[in-house]
Amino acid sequence: MEDIKTITPQELEEKIEAGEKLEIVDVREDEEVQHGMIEGAKHIRMGDIPEKLDHFDKDKEYIFVCRSGNRSNNVCHYMQDQGYKVRNMVGGMLNWTGEVIVK
């Protein structure tokens, strides 16, 4: 099994501040994202990913985010097995120090 690429919360914040166009997907549950999400992230619950594969483009890289980095790592393995380019934000939102938006 191929290793999952990772990105730290600090690296992600720097990319956002630099204006890079990123595909960020927050896989936490509804009640978790109510406390705030990274601006620009799409919210697709982990359990909904398999039925939402048509929302993803195999030519783009997706950065997956959850609370601690464990669920997003599992999603990354699944998505990589399906042929998608993925990166896991290690430490999850627990280590995110950047701005969040509340929806």
Q: Compute the half-sphere exposure of residue 9: CA atoms within 13 Å on the CB side of its CA.
A: 18
The full 3-state SS of 24-56, as one line of letters, equals EEECCCHHHHCCCECCCCEECCHHHCHHHHHHC
User: What does residue 2 show for φ and ψ, rounded to 5 degrees?
Assistant: -75, 140
Catalytic position from the list 66, 75, 86, 93: 66
Round to whole Å and give the CA distance between 9 and 15.
10
* 66 has catalytic annotation: yes
Return the active site residues.
66
